[in-house]
Structures are given as C-alpha cells and as structure tokens.
Chains A and B, each alone.
Chain A
C-alpha cells in the first residue's frame, strides 16, 4: 500500500531537486565568506569587461574627435576622468554583487535546511518500517 506521508515527503524533495538543487549545490560547496568573495571576483572581471565595452562605445563615437582636436593635457585629464568613473562604477557594481550574493546564499541555505528536514523525516519513516519488518 502507498504510504501517503512518505509520498508527500518524496514529492517535496523531488520539487526541490527539479527546480533549485543545481543552483544550491554550487553555493553549498562554499562558506558564506568564500562564496561572496568568489562572486566579487567574478564581478570584478565582468564589471571591468562591461566598463571596457562602454568605454569602447564612447571611443567609437568620440575617439577620433578627441585625438584630433585635443592637446596632451586634455587627453590626460580625460584618462583621469575615465579612471575615476571606472572606480565609481566598480564600487557600485561590487556593492550590488555583495548584497546579491549575501541574499542568494542565505536563501540557498534556508532551502537546503528545509530539504534536510524532509530527508530526515523520510529516513525516520524508513527506519520505522525496517523495525516493523524485523
């Protein structure tokens, strides 16, 4: 006969396995601090790439004009401005990354906790059944 309680637990676990488990497995490999650092590192590269692309866009539109019409001092000041904008951009981007990584990690841990509760309940059910059989 089908054990309804066991089916309910198995259903919850299957739903989790199907939807969230792959993402949670990645976060489960890290401590919170390590996970956030890893995300910050990835963001450093992706943010730099994004800023580089934006700079490229600006360069494509205004680069020639800047090179032809500007003096060396003006070029240097433009470069300084670009570096300052880069630092500001990265600061905001990193902050967003830290917040997002923290929330994602916390959510993942709470889902894993629930999963473990279901797993424990299921184990107890099997143990009880084994005892009854013996």
Chain B
C-alpha cells in the first residue's frame, strides 16, 4: 500500500510539473481515438477517413480548446454520413444542433464527458461514465452522458442500416420520407437506448447522492451501488425487452468499469478512516460538530544533514596548526555528537 501511495504521489507531482503538456497529450489522445473510431465505423467518405487525416486533426485539436474536438468530430460524422445518404446527414446535423442548443449552451465544460461516452461504448465499458460523472461532477453532468449515449446509438443505428439507406437511395420512385423515417427511427424506436439512458441517469444520481453522504467509505459504497444498479437494471431491462447476447459483455464491462472507478477513487478520494477525528467547538452564532477524515499520504522523506566536527567553524578555514590539543578537542567533539566513548576514536 505504501508503495502504491508513493507511486500516486510521484504521478501527481509529475502531473503538476507538466500539466500543460499532459493536457495537450490528453486532448491529442482523445481526439485521435475518437477520429479513428469514426473512421473505422462510419468512414464512408474515403478522403477524410484515413489515418494521416485523423492524426493531423488530432494534432490540431491538441492546440485548441477541449470542445473543438467535439465540433471537429461532429463535422467528420456529418461528412461521412453525407457520403452515405444526404437525408441521414440532414438528420444527423439536426440532432447535433438540438443537442448543442438544448444542453451545451448551459454546460460547455462537460464536453469531455459527452466525448468520452461514445469512446467508452466502443470499448464496451460505457458503465464507467455514469459512475465517473456521479463521483467527479455535479448531478446535471449526467445529461452530457445522455447526449453521448444518444449520439452513439444514433450513429450505430445508421451504421447498421447503411445498406438499406444506400439501397433506398438507388431505387427510383422511393419516397424521401422513408429514408428520413429510417434515420429518425434510430432515435425514437430504439428501446435499448431508452433503457440504457434510464439506467445511466438513475445510476449517476445514486452515485452522486451516496458520495455526498457523510458515511465511511462513501465513495466505495457509491461506486458499488452504481455498478449494481447498472448490472441489475440492464439485466432486467434486457429480459423484459427480449434482448439477448448482451449479458456477458455487460458483466465483463461492469467489472472493468468497477476497477477503473476504484482507480479514480484512489487518486481523488483516498481517505484514512481509521484516523477520523471528531471535534466540537462554538463561536457566537453556531455550534460546530466537525468530522475530519485525513487523506492517506506518504510522509515526505526528511533529509537530515549530519555535521561532523565543530559546526561553528563551517565555511571557515580550520587551522591545522593546533597540533595534538586541537585534535583532542575535535575528537571529543565528534564523540559527543555521535554519543560514543571518546576512547573508541583513538
């Protein structure tokens, strides 16, 4: 445990020393992963769906504000879907605009949560997002996870229906509304999406409420509660909706998410409840009942410099001409400082 705390301390120190560069690296990584996922899943426009373009855009993103990643990602998605079907691109544009107008006008700082949600979905660990927002952000941040989830399911639906959308485009005499209908159905008739949204919102709010409670190991309890709500809620939902083949991914994803949540807890709120102190005091207006829980920390190494000899003469030239008498006095001084018998130094 001490070693882990030492590593944590080193990581925090490293982060605080190079915050500017690490933030840039974070943005670069997030942008690159997002653009590669877009390319791999809906890379219908070949010109923009290559690795060099993704790399170049990610490099640009690391110099821009966080929300620029979202904007560039949205433009890429619209262009890719445009190459598949103009109608799908129009619907995508409208969806992005509605999300921007309704939510991101209020909370522009939560862009990262909306960005990470589809990425986590791609890595099969979306269950981390409601728990992480519940732990680290205010309760309304769950809406950014909701936005990310809606975008993921919408794009996933478009990808699943790509062949139908292309076919309908080729068939003459087909009504335009059918293509719009297919796209909009991904939002309105996707029961799995509504189930996931409901479970995520409940889990995030429960995590937030528990971690704010004044109980021992509040964060750990909140994480476990969030994970259990997601596992049981989604399992029950899948059974009711007759969705099969998702249980194993759900359990494995939840376990991985749980581990990541504990890592977050270790870095953000690692408390030593054994040393909890309860104090009471008062001033003119209030009586205070205070519970103080110390953080687990590694005591910093104290470097002690041991001076041998006459410290009063430090930095001065010591005369060597004192002969035996001087040597005797030095010897007695050293023996005194080391707390040993003077005879041992002879």
A33 to B308 Cα, complex, angstroms: 72
Of A7-15, A47-55, A75-83, the one with at least 4 CB within 8 A of chain B:
A47-55
Structural contact, A100 and B175, CB atoms closer than 8 A: no
Structural contact, B177 and A53, CB atoms closer than 8 A: no
In the complex, which residues of chain B have a beta carbon less than 8 angstroms from the beta carbon of A61? Answer: 177, 180-181, 184-185
The main secondary structure of chain A at its interface with chain B is helix
Residues of chain B in range 92-133 having any CB-CB distance to chain A below 8 Å: 94-95, 97-98, 101-102, 105-106
Q: Count residues of A near B (Cβ-Cβ below 8 Å).
A: 21
The main secondary structure of chain B at its interface with chain A is helix
With A60-B184, A65-B177: A47-B94 Cβ-Cβ less than 8 Å:
no
In the complex, which residues of chain A have a beta carbon less than 8 angstroms from the beta carbon of B25? Answer: none
Q: Tell me, rounded to whole Å, the shortest Cβ–Cβ distance linking B193 to chain A.
A: 16
Structural contact, B98 and A50, CB atoms closer than 8 A: yes
Q: Tell me, rounded to whole Å, the shortest Cβ–Cβ distance linking A35 to chain B.
A: 14
Q: Tell me, rounded to whole Å, the shortest Cβ–Cβ distance linking B178 to chain A.
A: 9
Q: Is A46 an interface residue (CB 8 A)?
A: yes
Q: Is B91 an interface residue (CB 8 A)?
A: yes
Structural contact, A50 and B102, CB atoms closer than 8 A: yes
A125 to B97 Cα, complex, angstroms: 51
A53 to B101 Cα, complex, angstroms: 10
Q: Tell me, rounded to whole Å, the shortest Cβ–Cβ distance linking B93 to chain A.
A: 9
Residue of A nearest to B184 (CB): A61
Q: Is A96 an interface residue (CB 8 A)?
A: yes
With A60-B91, A61-B181: A54-B175 Cβ-Cβ less than 8 Å:
no
Structural contact, A64 and B98, CB atoms closer than 8 A: no
Q: Tell me, rounded to whole Å, the shortest Cβ–Cβ distance linking A81 to chain B.
A: 16
A54 to B98 Cα, complex, angstroms: 7
In the complex, which residues of chain B have a beta carbon less than 8 angstroms from the beta carbon of A42? Answer: 105
Structural contact, A64 and B175, CB atoms closer than 8 A: yes
With A50-B98, A65-B177: A57-B184 Cβ-Cβ less than 8 Å:
yes
Most buried by A among B95, B102, B184, B185: B102
What would 11 A/B residue contacts be, using CB atoms closer than 8 Å?
A: A46-B102, A50-B98, A53-B97, A53-B98, A54-B98, A56-B94, A57-B184, A60-B180, A62-B181, A64-B177, A93-B102
| Given A60-B91, A62-B181, 6 further pairs, Cβ under 8 A | A50-B97, A53-B97, A57-B95, A60-B87, A61-B185, A65-B177
A-B pairs, top 3 by smallest CB distance, nearest first, are A50-B101, A60-B180, A61-B184
